[in-house]
Chains A and B, each alone.
Chain A
Amino acid sequence: MSYDRCVRCGSCIILCPVFDAIGEEQYSPRGRTYLLQVMDLIEEDKELGKEFRRLLFQCTFCGRCSEICASDVDLLKVWHEQRGKAVSEAPEEFGYLDALGKSLANMMNIYGLDPEDRAEFWLDELEDEIPGIADRVYEEGKTADTMVFLGCLMSFRASQMDVLRSLFLTLEKLDVDYLVMGAEEFCCGHPLHLMGDDDGATKLREHNKGVMESAKAKRVITCCPGCLIQISTNHNLKEDIEVLHHTQLFDRLLETIPKYKQEEEFSYHDPCELHRICNVKTEPRSLLNKMGVEFEEMDLSCCGGGGLLRMTDPDLSDEIIQIRAQKEKLGDRLVLTCCPSCREQFLGANLRTRDIVEILADALEGGEK
Chain B
Amino acid sequence: MKLRDIAIGANASIYLRMDFKKIKGVFYPRTEQEIIDAIATAHDGGYSVTPKGGGSGLSGACTGGNRERVMISTLRMREVLTVSKDQGYADVQPGATPDEINALIEPIRMKFWVAPSSRDIASAAGILSTDGGGNDTWVNGTMRDNTIRAKMVLYDGRRLTVDWNGVTSDDSELEAELNKKGMTISDVASAHGTLGFITELRVKIKPFPSEKLVGGLAKFEDCNAMGRALSELIKRKSPIRYGETVAAAHEDIREGLDLPLLTLEFPEDFASELKDILDYSDLDSEGLAKMKDVRIKLPKRNPNEGLQIALFEGFGYHGDNLLKMQDAIDEINSLLIGHGLALFARYGHAPSKWYLGDNSPAYGVILHSREIKPEDKTSREMFDTITDIVAKCNELGITPKPEHKWPFSDEEKKTRIKELREVMGTGFNDFILDPNGAYDTLSSLV
Residues of A within 8 A of B (CB): 5, 7-11, 13-14, 23-26, 28, 30-32, 34-35, 37-38, 41-42, 45, 47-48, 51-52, 55, 70-71
CB distance from B300 to the nearest CB of A (A): 5
The reply to whether B3 and A23 form a contact with Cβ atoms under 8 Å apart is: no
Q: How large is the interface on B (under 10, 10 to 19, 20 to 34, 35 or more residues)?
A: 20 to 34
Shortest Cβ gap from A245 to chain B (Å): 30
* Chain A positions within 8 Å of B307 at CB level: 5
**With A25-B75, A52-B3 as contacts: A38 and B16 at CB distance below 8 Å:** yes
Given contact pairs A8-B16, A34-B16, A37-B16, A48 touches B121 in the complex (Cβ within 8 A): no
Bound state CA distance, A7 and B117, in angstroms? 14
Contact partner, B20, options A9, A30, A41, A70, Cβ 8 Å: A41
Q: With A24-B28, A41-B17 in contact, do A9 and B3 touch (Cβ < 8 Å)? A: no
When distances are taken between beta carbons in the complex, the residues of chain B under 8 Å from A9 are 12, 56, 118, 121
Closest B residue by C-beta to A70: B300
The closest CB in chain B to the CB of A7 belongs to: B12
A/B interface sample: 6 pairs, CB < 8 A: A9-B121, A25-B73, A25-B75, A35-B3, A51-B3, A71-B300
Partner of B10, one of A8, A48, A55: A8
The B interface, classified by DSSP as helix, strand, loop or mixed, is loop
Question: Cβ of B56: which chain A residues have Cβ within 8 Å of it?
Answer: 9-10
Q: Are A8 and B28 in contact (CB under 8 A)?
A: no
In contact, A38 and B3 (Cβ under 8 angstroms) = no
Provide the bound-state CA to CA distance between A218 and B8, in Å. 52
- B4 CB, min distance to chain A CBs, angstroms: 5
Closest to B117 in A: A9
Inter-chain contacts of A45 with B (CB < 8 A): 1
Determine if B7 and A51 form an interchain contact, defined as CB atoms under 8 angstroms apart.
no
Question: A11-B118, A24-B7, A48-B2 given. 17 additional CB < 8 A pairs?
Answer: A11-B120, A14-B78, A24-B26, A24-B28, A25-B4, A25-B73, A26-B4, A30-B55, A34-B6, A34-B10, A35-B6, A35-B7, A41-B18, A41-B20, A42-B6, A48-B1, A70-B300
Pick from A14, A24, A55: contact of B97, CB below 8 A. Answer: A14
Question: What are the residues of chain A within 8 A of B75 when measuring CB–CB?
Answer: 13, 23-25
- When the two chains form the complex, which single residue of A8, A11, A24 contacts B4, counting CB atoms closer than 8 Å? A24
Instruction: Compute how far the CA of A262 lies from the CA of B75 in the bound complex, rounded to whole angstroms.
Output: 41
Q: How far is the CA of A87 from the CA of B376 in the complex (A)?
A: 35
Name the residue on B nearest A23 (C-beta): B76
> Using an 8 Å CB-CB cutoff, how does the interface string of B99-139 with A read, 1 for contact, 0 for none?
01000000000000000001011100000000000000000
B227 is an interface residue with CB less than 8 A from chain A = no
Complex Cα distance, B52 from A28, in Å, reads 15
Interfacial chain A residues near B76, Cβ < 8 Å: 23
A92 to B2, CA, bound (A): 21
- A-B CB proximity, top 7 nearest: A26-B7, A34-B10, A10-B121, A31-B7, A25-B7, A26-B3, A23-B76
Contact A55 B3, beta carbon cutoff 8 Å: yes
Tell me the bound Cα distance from A13 to B78 in angstroms: 13
CB distance from A2 to the nearest CB of B (A): 12
- The answer, yes or no, to whether B9 is at the interface (CB within 8 Å) is yes
Partner of A10, one of B7, B12, B20, B28: B12
Closest B residue to A68 using CB positions: B120
- Report chain B residues within 8 Å CB of A47: 1
Q: Which residues of B contact A31 (CB under 8 A)?
A: 7, 10
Taking a contact as CB atoms under 8 Å apart, the answer to whether B20 and A42 are in contact is yes
Nearest-neighbor residue (CB-CB) of B297 within chain A: A70
Of A10, A26, A55, A71, chain B has the most CB atoms within 10 Å of the CB of A10
Task: Determine the distance from Cα of A51 to Cα of B54 in the docked complex, in whole angstroms.
Answer: 24
A-side contacts of B4, CB under 8 Å: 24-26
CA distance A7 to B13 in the complex (A): 8
Query: In the assembly, what is the distance between CA of A34 and CA of B16, in Å?
Result: 9
**Other-chain contact of A38, B6, B54, B100, B300 (Cβ < 8 Å):** B6
Q: Is the CB of A8 within 8 A of B17?
A: no
Inside 8 A of B122's CB, which chain A residues have their CB?
10
Q: Which residues of the partner chain B approach A51 to less than 8 Å between Cβ atoms?
A: 2-3
Give the docked Cα–Cα distance between A26 and B9 (Å): 10
Residue B93, interface by CB 8 Å? no
B80 to chain A, nearest CB (A): 14
A71: chain B residues at CB < 8 Å are 300
| Contacts A13-B54, A42-B20, A45-B1 given; does A34 touch B7 at CB 8 Å | yes
Closest CB-CB distance, B294 to chain A, in whole Å? Answer: 16
Question: Which B residues are in CB contact (< 8 Å) with A23?
Answer: 28, 75-76
Q: Does B11 contact A (CB under 8 A)?
A: yes
A30: chain B residues within 8 A (beta carbon) = 10, 55
Contact partners of A24 in chain B: CB under 8 A: 4, 7, 26, 28, 75
**Chain A residues within an 8 Å CB radius of B12:** 7-10
Contact mask B42-74 → A, CB, 8 Å, 1/0?
000000000000111000000000000000010
Expressed in whole angstroms, the Cα–Cα distance for A180 and B48 within the complex equals 66
Interface centre among A5, A26, A42, A48 (most CB of B within 10 A): A26
